[in-house]
Structure 1
Amino acid sequence: MEVNGDSNETVSPIEWYPGLQLTACLFYSLILVVGVIGNALVITIVTKYRDMRNATNYLLTNLSIADLSVLLFCTADGYQHLYGKDKHRLGTFMCRFSPFVQNATATCSVLTIMAISYERYIAICQPFKTNSLRLTVFHTLPTVIIFWIISCCMSSPFFIFTNTYSVGSTYNETITICLTQFHPSWSIWYLIPCTVMIYIIIAIMLICWHYSICSVLFNREALLRDNTIVTRYRRQVAQLLIVLIVSFFVLILPYKIWGIIQPQLSLEQFHRLGFRRHSLLIIITRLLLYLNSAINPLLYSIMSTKFRQSFVRLSKSCCPNAKERRSSPVLDCKEYLKRPVSVSGYRTGCNGSTSNAGRGSYQPINLNHQQEKEKKFLFVDASVTPVTSTAVELSKIIFP
């Protein structure tokens, strides 16, 4: 304990828990690297592959953009808190911009999750109902822009009321700190409604929508009779969204709640809490916030077959394997375009042309309509958006 000679007041020493700084720095770095790479891959996959372009995946891309913004613009505060001795070294603009980005991206993320859940609810529970709010690829971009405008407007007070100040520190020097100072009435009329009420209302809506979705997709009759590729894909998306929603609220709410409680602490309460416990709370809430921005791509790759296959496809296109290229049926068709294949007395080329020359030893395979439809759905998204012509052509090449 240290004693202040002027007031004889005992103050807790400014000491960290042993090894806490190094451990927190390693976790920050791991989350930053995994999150930036994962979210960048999600954005690349959806923009590069045409069969991944649908309303749901575009909204997931917007979610990745929000998460990427948090990791790029807000993790510097975490490192600064660990080794900066409470000094703000990033300048006045970053002092204001970082809390603005944290709140704007969180609001945009929860609105995006709400839109994804609503789109799935309409597609599964009310597929034949005409709804003006039903999302399609053509309506996704305006929806995303509206979400960002709402989020920026709701978060603008954090940019306005945050500033740098010069104060005396406990280690006998004047330092620059970054502080958000709201008027006491703002905590009642702005901070609490915007950071708590919006999450409660949206959480209730999400629970109702996903309860209806699970009632349709996971009831006993559907599990026993309806086991098509389309239904299995929809079950995967529903499970992914439920895990994504739970992880979002579990990981982000501690940071939001602590952001409301911390400004209300008096100096006496702060000293009673102590530097060690206060710093530990800040590190834990920030770790959960950064983890929320990095975990979504991992959830996509674990729970979604289409995203997992797209990740593999992207890695193969970046580092192609010569042996796999030679064994690919599509590439074989292009390489041997002039070599026809004999099937049941007809000579068939890769372009689909046939000629009645010679007899073959293979009998034709008769596929019923349902099997052909399911095979085509392997290449397209079974959502409310129409099937692209490129995906159909690809399915015809592989399944003539």
Structure 2
Amino acid sequence: MKHITCTSGFDTSSLREYTDWESVVTVIVMPIVLAFGLITNSCFIFMVYRVPDMRITINIYLVSLAVADVSFLVFTISDKLAKHVMSPLYGDAGHRDTSGCILIYFFIYVANLSSELHILVLAFERYYSVCVPLKAKFNQKKRAARLLTATWLISVLIAASFTPAYSDYKLYCLEDTKYSDLSDTYGVCRSVTSENEIDSANIYFNLAQPLIFLVSLILSSVLYVKVLRKLRRVSASLKNRGMAQTTQYRKSKVKQYFNRMLWFNWLVYFTLAAPFQLYAVCDFVSYITGGDSVADSSPLFTTCRLLLYLNSCVNPLVYAATNPKYRVAFIAACSPRKLHSNNNTGQMMAMTKTTISIAVID
């Protein structure tokens, strides 16, 4: 039998068992959310692969976002399930070691940060496409590749900078405590500065996340406001000049479809993610001021976390709900017949109908 070395002297005042609500959410609801997210994002990726007319530049960004969302769901929910299965004590990481602490959180934060930055990149792409159209139409796929490479690289670098906040693994003995009947040990992924007077690694970790979220929210909001104003001016100008039936006007309507879709996607993202970020900030403020944790065993905090996970599931549903082209493409992707690109699809989508033409070959 493997000998386990643990450290004594752990303050057990913060230890507790899972509440009934946390157990239900972890064991039942989270696996359902994971399955739902895998289905929706996989269907979207399959649709882009299956329907040639959907292999457009904007969908390169959205496929990358789907990969980030799936990665976030897989790593976070599998981690929560593993903790619950391995120990009845909430947050027990006793089944890990130092490398386990570093790797699981690194991958979680790479995926989470990447999702946030994708929303900002999508806002920038829309702004560039609508407000600087002459430059935007050149090298679109190369620009997308560069932006996405930078997005993932920045996410990796920021996630790596978070590592000191959870890379000091400690396994504590619970003998002669009221929890000894539940578990012999309790594992913690601590910050490397946790024993210092000022826990700088933990402070940086807890401040950087909401700050990145807030900056992304503000910048993307400004960009989308500029985009919507520009489209409104262009549409009004074309109508006033009697060009409502021209190709130029129809192209502007197509852009409005995509921008409306991405704007709703932005709204849903920040609506679902903001409660968890706000709760986390309040909990951290309470921690550094010496107060009790506002998130400890709180059903509301668990619900906010669940909303954050749900956020990674619903993007494809937003696309289908707000853009008719995606609704038809989802249906066409399920067709057993072979699909090929229809050069007139873009022109036909310019009409404000709820169907598009997708050519097929038997």
Specify if TM > 0.5. yes
Residue 11 of structure 1 deviates from its aligned partner by 6.7
Residue 222 of structure 1: how far off its partner (Å)? 6.4
Q: Tell me: CA distance 1:13–1:54, structure 2 relative to 1, closer, same or farther (3 Å).
A: closer
Question: Is 2:110 the counterpart of 1:104?
Answer: yes
Change (3 A) 1:291 1:182: farther
| Cα distance change of structure 1 residues 123 and 263 upon mapping to structure 2, 3 Å threshold | closer
Matched, 1:22 2:24: yes
Partner of 2:196: none
Distance 1:393 1:195 in 2: 43
Where does residue 37 of structure 2 map in the other structure?
Answer: 35
> Using a 3 Å threshold, how does the CA distance of structure 1 residues 191 and 284 change in structure 2: closer, same or farther?
same
Say which SS state the counterpart of residue 348 (structure 2) adopts: coil
Which sits farther off after the overlay, 59-68 or 206-215? Answer: 206-215
> Per-residue deviation at 1:276?
3.3
Q: How many residues align?
A: 321
The equivalent residue for 1:306 is 325
Alignment counterpart, residue 309 of structure 2, candidates 285, 290, 302: 290
Matched, 1:238 2:259: yes
Give the counterpart letter for 1:91 in structure 2.
Answer: R
Q: Report deviation, 1:192.
A: 5.2
Normalised to the residue count of structure 2, the TM-score between the two structures is: 0.73
Provide the identity percentage.
20
Matches of 2:253 and 2:117, distance apart in 1:
26
Q: Which amino acid aligns with 2:50?
A: K
* SS class of match (2:189): strand
**Aligned in 2, Cα 1:143/1:97: closer, same or farther, shift over 3 Å?**
same
1:131/1:379 CA distance change after superposition, 3 Å: closer
Structure 2 CA distance for aligned equivalents of residues 49 and 32 of structure 1? 26
User: Aligned runs of 1:300-379 on 2, under 5 Å?
Assistant: 300-317=319-336, 377-378=347-348
Letter in 2 for 1:378: M
Could you say what secondary structure the match of 2:179 adopts? Answer: coil
For 1:308 and 1:193, the matched residues in 2 are separated by 40
CA contact (8 A) 1:216 1:222 kept: no
How far apart, in 1, do the equivalents of 2:345 and 2:13 lie? Answer: 71
List per-residue Cα deviations over 1:203-255 (Å, max 9, x = no partner). 22212221122223346836967475433332221122122112222323443
> Which of 50, 53, 60 matches 2:52?
50
CA offset digits 1:236-284 (Å, max 9, x no partner): 21122122112222323443455555566279744x769533xx35522
The 3-state SS of whatever aligns with 2:314 is helix
Structure 1 residue 178, shift from structure 2 partner: 3.6
Matches within 5 A, 1:1-400: 14=16, 17-18=19-20, 20-83=22-85, 84-86=87-89, 87-88=92-93, 90-92=95-97, 93-128=99-134, 130=135, 136-163=140-167, 164-169=169-174, 170-172=178-180, 173-181=183-191, 183=193, 184-187=199-202, 190-191=204-205, 194-218=208-232, 221=236, 226=244, 229-259=250-280, 262=283, 265=287, 269-270=291-292, 276-277=297-298, 280-317=299-336, 377-378=347-348
Quote how far apart the aligned CAs of 1:16 are: 5.2
* Uncovered stretches (5+) of structure 1, i.e. residues with no partner: 1-8, 331-372, 381-391
Over residues 170-204 of structure 1, what are the superposed CA-to-partner deviations in whole Å (9 max), with x where a residue is unaligned?
4124324242415322355x335532333333322
Distance 2:321 2:311 in 1: 16
Aligned residue type for 2:251:
V
Counterpart position of 1:365: none
TM-superposition CA deviations, 1:151-174 (whole Å, max 9, x none) = 111111334542432124541243
Counterpart residue identity of residue 88, structure 2: K
Name the Cα RMSD after superposition: 3.9
Would you say the 8 A contact 2:110–2:156 is kept in 1? Answer: yes
Distance 1:393 1:237, change over 3 A: closer
- For normalisation by structure 1, the TM-score amounts to 0.67
Q: For 1:10 and 1:59, how far apart are their aligned partners in 2?
A: 46
Change (3 A) 1:165 1:106: same
- The aligned residue for residue 344 of structure 1 is none
* Aligned partner of residue 166 in structure 1, secondary structure: strand
Are 1:125 and 1:216, in contact at CA under 8 Å, matched by a contact in 2?
Answer: yes
Residues 2-36 of structure 1 show CA distances to partners (whole Å, capped at 9, x for unaligned) of xxxxxxx9979946554552255332122111101
> How far apart in 1 are the matches of 2:145 and 2:60?
8
Q: Is the 8 A contact 1:15 1:276 kept in 2?
A: no
For 1:175, give the aligned amino acid: T
